[in-house]
Structure formats: structure tokens, C-alpha cells
A = this chain, B = another copy of it.
Amino acid sequence: MATVKLWSDAEVERDARVKAVFDDIRATRKSDFVNNFWRGLAHDAALLERTWASLKAVMVAPGALDPLTKELVYIAVSTVNGCSYCVHSHTAAARAKGLTDAQHGEFLAVVGMASQTNALVTAMQIPVDPEFQVG
């Protein structure tokens, strides 16, 4: 189905750079499961390394936003970009980080509301109020 080959664990074992990333994914997530996204990226070790390093810095390292908020932002972006895989994987990640049904329902309401007003604003070509300008 994919436009690239998804690497099996056996194939990963034979490439030192790819194996190092997979090892770090497993160690970081404390789980043996490595999802298909990384198996697709494995055919380009440099891209795999850069992508994992960025994801680790942005989504795993502690920061100013809590992990669940970051997952919700991730799902919101993925929804509007129409990335079915990403909606699935990050909704699963959000649930693993404690997303409740009530929070999910409210999140859906915000995503729907924003999409609706975005379309209304664009169709009406509303000019930005001076009050919203920075500096």
C-alpha cells in the first residue's frame, strides 16, 4: 500500500544507523513496538535520524506545555491536513497520556468550531482588526 518499503526488524538489524535510531525509539518509549512511520523512513537514514531527533526534542523532552496539550495540537494539525495515519497514531498517544472521553469530545468540538469559523472568515475575507496586531 505504501509508496516505500516498510523495513522489518530483520532489515533494521543490518543497518547500523537505522538500528541506532530504532534502539533509541524503543529505549525512549520503553516499548518494543516501533510503528510503521519509522519503518517507512528507514530507507533514508539521514532523514530518519533528523526526524526522530526533532520529534524527541519537541514531543518527548519536558517543556513549557504539558504532553497531552502537545498531542491535542498534533491531532488538530493532522486532522486539517487530512492525515489519517497521524490522526490514528496521535489519538492513540493522547489516550495513553490520559485523554478522557469528555476531553476528546470537547477537543472535537473545538476542532469543528475552528474549521467552521475559518471557512466563514475566508469566504467573507474579513480584514484583521488593528486590535489583533502585535507591536
Contact = CB atoms under 8 A, between A and B. Distances in A.
Taking chain A's interface residues, is the majority helix, strand, or loop, or is none over half, making it mixed? helix
Interface range, A side: 35 or more
A127 B40 CA distance: 10
Contacts of A87: 3, 122-123, 125
Contacts of A43: 101, 104-105
B85 A127 contact: yes
B76 A77 contact: yes
Nearest to A50: B54
Interface of A: 1-6, 33, 35-37, 40-41, 43-44, 46-47, 50-51, 54-55, 57-59, 63-65, 69-70, 72-92, 100-129, 131-135
